[in-house]
Chain A
Amino acid sequence: MNVLVNGKSRDLPDGSTVLALLERFDLAGERVAVEVNGHILDRGAFAQHALSEGDVVEVVRFVGGG
């Protein structure tokens, strides 16, 4: 299935969870926040939340800033 992650289309196995997405990009140990179709997920929901075809996902982290 195709999912739009941070503005770019990604091909993921059907039914992938948010956690699986993070693991694929080596981000499971990072302090990130995730929004799916405009809804922010609790960190505890990453392992359960299954993504669907066409979902729009934002994955953000903290970077240097003033």
Chain B
Amino acid sequence: MDELVIAGRRFRSRLMLGTGKYRTFEEMRQALDASGAEIVTVAVRRVNLDEREESLLAYIDLDRYFLLPNTAGCHTAEEAVRTARLARAAGLSNWVKLEVIPDDGTLLPDPVATVEAAKILVSEGFVVLPYTTDDHTVAKRLLDIGCATIMPYGSAIGTGQGLPNPERLKRIIDLVGGRVPVVIDAGIGAPSDAALAMELGADAVLVNTAIAKAGNPVAMARAMALGVEAGRMAYRAGRIPKSDVPSPSSPIEGLVGGVK
């Protein structure tokens, strides 16, 4: 597959994986391995000082994977900026997957606060990968600010409803016009959704729940990677336009003669 380039950094895989919701860290480790992903997202949370907890990072080889901290759980721009700064202080990179989600019920992003936070973080030298709606004006604002990607949702986080509005995603992809990668994040439920996202011209997809909660996450991770690869190849190959007029695939001449 052709390389994905984000903020000058090159990646071979166009599938990014979340690390939440796995039954065990070991299962997550195996799923990451099977997916071929290089970018993996993590959240930032208080350490539990009363109970020793296993470290997630013990299961993620940092020579192989690039850690992308998110600001999940932040309800306001201010909280997201603070979380991003904490993530950077942990000393791995200045990249952040920006999420501002005011409502824990709908899990829908607040585009206005996301734009606000993105402005601050970009000015502080962060490489900002903002999670957003599929609204193309918001995408334009994020692009103008200097975000490193645009990450519109397919559908709401964790729903597995796929891409109910592909034309809206296509509009964003066309608007961005290859200036930065467009990553479809959230809602992917199956490899066919990932393939569709890539066929539309998305540059990458980010998947968590659909793999972590699959019957067999390791097999699903591999299936998802194949979906992404198939979709990317199809996009580059150039799919046929949809037509209302049928056209036979077999010649209409040279049919055997009729029997009298």
Chain A nearest Cβ from B61, distance in angstroms: 14
Q: Given A31-B92, A40-B86, A43-B91, A65 and B20 touching (CB < 8 A)?
A: yes
- B201 beta carbon closer than 8 Å to chain A: no
Render A8-43 as a binary contact track against B, CB cut-off 8 A, 1 for contact. 101000000000000001110011111100001111
Inter-chain CA distance A65–B42, complex, in Å, is 5
Interchain CB contact under 8 A, A8 and B49:
yes
Interchain CB contact under 8 A, A60 and B91:
no
Residues of B within 8 A of A64 (CB): 18-22, 25, 28, 42-43, 56
Report which of B22, B56, B157 forms a contact with A62, defined as CB distance below 8 A: B56
Interchain CB contact under 8 A, A58 and B46:
yes
Report which of A7, A26, A33 forms a contact with B86, defined as CB distance below 8 A: A33
Interchain CB contact under 8 A, A25 and B18:
no
Render A34-60 as a binary contact track against B, CB cut-off 8 A, 1 for contact. 110000111100000000000000111
Interface segment out of the listed B67-75, B139-147, B219-227, B236-244: B67-75
Q: Given A31-B57, A66-B41, A66-B72, A61 and B89 touching (CB < 8 A)?
A: no
Interchain CB contact under 8 A, A60 and B42:
no
Residues of B within 8 A of A66 (CB): 18-21, 41, 43, 70, 72, 157, 186, 206, 208-209
Report which of A8, A26, A42, A61 forms a contact with B45, defined as CB distance below 8 A: A61
Q: Given A61-B55, A64-B56, A31 and B91 touching (CB < 8 A)?
A: yes
Chain B nearest Cβ from A31, distance in angstroms: 5
Most A CB within 10 A of own CB, among B43, B69, B85: B43
Interchain CB contact under 8 A, B92 and A65:
no
Interchain CB contact under 8 A, A33 and B90:
yes
Apart from A33-B86, A61-B44, A66-B19, what are 16 other A-B pairs with CB-CB below 8 Å? A5-B49, A30-B57, A31-B91, A33-B87, A40-B86, A40-B89, A58-B46, A60-B45, A60-B47, A62-B43, A62-B69, A62-B90, A64-B19, A64-B22, A65-B20, A65-B208
